[in-house]
Structure 1
């Protein structure tokens, strides 16, 4: 992954549905953009100063441009509204990445489930499965067809594609879908929290629940409670010797910001990975993100500073 921000130019802003626009990004000098794999996203620093993550939904083999899909979120914090209302072709934005927390793993066959804007990372995944020659099925769910982006491209995929609009057919029978999977099938799903929660519940009785792969846009729920019910303060030390106290009612990220140390961040919920920070030592990490694997948590060398805390009194961060 490219950890440095670099400039790209917005070549087009296109309406894809009643609530989604797509952005076509290119290098200002016409250079090739970095390689990426299905499921990847990029960090986008908008001209208004907001940092957001958007899944890449173009063709992985096309390095001349990237495409992003952006859902207008009325209850959001201003990023999607800016993209929909103010971002114009010709504008330069800064990007970082790609990074991939939702990579497509080898499997005998695939079922892809996309809810709403969740189609963005799923589209490249379906194309990749087709290139690999693996059998696949795509179920694309939305409240209405008017709200569902890239419908033409989804239909053009061929294969086993099912487009389901709730206002036409009611709720989709997810239990039937997941209850009849053939051995060796992996399920990849992206979409709203309630959809993913249902899928996670249905997969709870599988012999191998790891066959279900989810990408969330919001945290699963509130951060885990400390063992005694009360968070305590601690100190983070930076590599230059600076010490920053973290109070019981603030995150490491908030404490750093209060000290004038601004780290890249976006979701502030432990789901996007933008604020991931190396840990060089200390009293152990109280992981509260929804992103790191069990092995990554056990290694104890990285954390999401927007939600995770220290188990003791001190952490040494790679900052």
Structure 2
């Protein structure tokens, strides 16, 4: 059983495909654009990690609910006091790096002050799905009439578009990955009026071949047999300087000299160079004392003074 003290417990892996990497339980990535913009942040419940960001004009609201099935709930308004124009949600199994593709594009639209985040959706569904088809995902022709579904090569992810939806509150587009199930299926939903370029940005992040980094234990058990894990290698050691090389060479030479024959001139020289001066000076007085024993002083007679 792994414990926090085991190296394997904290080992990081590159996870491929990225859409099966799962969530992290916390989120700093997808909310970073709004932190950087210094948008007002409202803590609904600190213990459960509920946060809501609101744009300065009140037309964008981004909610992160740490205790819910729907972790991210994002809505846009033409008028901050009117009905919402569109909404997007991401559940607890969605990798935050994929959510970040949506939020980063949304924040950029807002900052450019061009109201692109309120753009009309495309007339054709191909705009949302283009990043996927360009990555080799293919259409499933067996879906219900009036719907379009594009599937990943491994059949473990896709996008489903219901072209029959007309009501602004209808969830017209669904991006999904993983087998069905509460702990394995990632889902992102978009209502009818969601701008196509925001959905396309999210789809492009799903199709990105670059892996995500995870601890093995953070990947849901139902997904571990479906992903490829490659250990993250530690960074290479720093390249030694010329001085380091010289010092190493000298140390090795001295070590070889000490382990050589006692009659080897190099060994003798190495010993002579590395003999402690203090030890040598301590030995000489002892030898001299053995050869030169001082003569006892002659006793002086009584009454003689120095």
**Fold shared by both chains (TM-score > 0.5):** no
Higher helix share: 2
Bigger RCO of structures 1 and 2 (CA < 8 A, at least 6 apart) = 2
Give the strand-richer structure, 1 or 2. 1
* TM-score normalised according to structure 2 size: 0.25
**TM-score (normalised: structure 1):** 0.24
Point out the structure with max Rg over C-alpha.
2
